[in-house]
Amino acid sequence: MHDEKMNRRTALKKTLNTGLVAGAVASMPPWGLSALAQGETLVPFSDMPEDYSRPTAQPGGTHFLDTRQISSFYTDNKDFYVVQHYGQPELDVANYKLSVTGMVDNEREYSLADLRSRSQVQIDAGFECGGNRAGGLFQGLIGNARWGGVSLRSILEECGVQADGKEIVFFGGDSGTENIRDTDVEQNFARSLHVEDAMRDVNMLALEMNGEALPQLHGRPVRLLIPGFYGVANVKWLTQIHVQNRRYMGRFMGRDYVTLKREAVGSEERWVEHSVTRTQLKSSVVRVTKLGNRHKITGFVLNDGTPLRSVEVKIDNGPWQEAQIDPQSTQYSWKLFTLDWNGAGRGEHTLVSRVTDANGHVQPTVEQMPEKVSRWENYAQFPRTLVI
């Protein structure tokens, strides 16, 4: 199993290097997932507008994908969702510098050539926006790609994080005016991590996405990639890494992308706020296809990288049925799943999925979700309806 997986990955990597687009490559694997086979049709959901087709990502705006079209392990770079809050700066790639400052033994600057000349690592990782949701978006703020670049840890170790450095701030080249306590101030997009989180081996300064130089909309030339965290952690157009001894309180850590929910704090029930960080355990049905009278249900799972125990699908009031997880899945990729649905009767049906991880955490229903005010972290089960 392990060898087979390695071989398939090596083969995939080779194919990617030939310059084929990722979508074309990923439609080839033998597993149940594929673009429509001959005679196969997409079954519309009745909870979704029929004319829901989306153009590919365009400069200047956001983009969310039509999740009914998910049919390959890697999301095409042109269809990967796009979100940012201060526009999409065009950094000067030839003169690009990434600076590392603050509580380090050696403050340094890295050009793109410096980063390219270091040893390169690759990881398959999927993520979603912390604001992704069922209603209206049908979970479209989501994507999965093979990322290539430089280990963040190797850079931090080279600069030497000092013992009293506690928090690492990652600044993007994009900025906007924020009104803070009645004062307009210019701020760059930034996120921070505790040193311990930043030092995880899987974190990367990504230079490539699905075998291409990082596209402009996804942070050219360098973005941070923190596998297992919500998209907001993956700072695009990265220009500065700063080590400090106190928390970073900027908008996207301290005010926005902050979840407000009611939870037990010891024996007290309290309203608590926390920055959106690790991805909550989530699955959703996104696609149903039909070939003759056989149907196939496809969905995705995202989480923080904790191994999974099962993904199950319930049709109407039937039993939970175990779905098959795409064997290409890796710890931090999205996990696509399928279930064959035979003998679907005429009429309206409801399909819902739930995922359980190795620690026994089960994805909650809407009713089981914590009481929550902010719009972040929507990971409830999502029942879908369709008419056969």
Ligand X SMILES: Nc1nc2c(c(=O)[nH]1)N[C@H]1C(S)=C(S)[C@@H](COP(=O)(O)O)O[C@H]1N2
Site residues for Mo ion per CB under 5 A: 83, 129, 231-232
CB 171 within 8 A of CB 244: no
| Residue from 64, 74, 229, 237 binding ligand X (CB under 6 A) | 237
Nearer to ligand X, 321 or 374 (CB): 374
CB of 236 to ligand X, least distance (A): 4
Cβ neighbours around 306 below 10 Å, total: 15
CB of 329 to ligand X, least distance (A): 20
* Residue 286 touches ligand X, criterion: CB under 6 A: no
- In degrees and rounded to multiples of 5, residue 13 shows phi and psi of -60, -45
* Residue 208 touches ligand X, criterion: CB under 6 A: no
* Residue 67 touches ligand X, criterion: CB under 6 A: no
Nearer to ligand X, 45 or 257 (CB): 257
| Residue from 102, 172, 227, 305 binding ligand X (CB under 6 A) | 172
Q: What's the token pair of residue 69?
A: 């079209």
* Residue 236 touches ligand X, criterion: CB under 6 A: yes
Site for ligand X in 178-197 (CB under 6 A): 189
CB of 175 to ligand X, least distance (A): 9
How many residues bind ligand X, per CB under 6 A? 19
Nearer to Mo ion, 165 or 228 (CB): 228
- In degrees and rounded to multiples of 5, residue 25 shows phi and psi of -65, -45
CB of 209 to ligand X, least distance (A): 8
CB of 234 to ligand X, least distance (A): 5
* Residue 334 touches ligand X, criterion: CB under 6 A: no
**Taking CB positions, which residue lies at the least distance from ligand X?**
172
Identity of the amino acid at 98: L
| Residue from 206, 235, 286, 297 binding ligand X (CB under 6 A) | 235
DSSP string, 214-262: PPGGGTTT-EEE-TTB-GGGS-SSEEEEEEESS----IIIIISSEEEEE
Task: Determine the 3-state secondary structure of 68 from DSSP.
Answer: helix
* Residue 232 touches ligand X, criterion: CB under 6 A: yes
| Residue from 15, 34, 71, 84 binding ligand X (CB under 6 A) | 84
Distance in angstroms (rounded) separating the CA atoms of residues 219 and 85: 13
CB of 340 to ligand X, least distance (A): 32
Closest residue by Cα to residue 159 from 149, 148, 150, 172:
150
| Residue from 12, 104, 129, 281 binding ligand X (CB under 6 A) | 129
| Residue from 45, 64, 74, 81 binding ligand X (CB under 6 A) | 81
Half-sphere exposure of 98 (CA within 13 A, CB side): 29
Distance in angstroms (rounded) separating the CA atoms of residues 204 and 233: 12
* Residue 83 touches ligand X, criterion: CB under 6 A: yes
- Using CA atoms in the order 174, 180, 183, 189, what is the torsion angle rounded to 10 degrees? -10
Task: Determine the 3-state secondary structure of 337 from DSSP.
Answer: strand
Residue 233: left (phi > 0), alpha (psi -120 to 50), or beta?
alpha
Contact residues: ligand X, CB under 6 A: 80-86, 129, 143, 172, 174, 189, 218, 231-232, 234-237
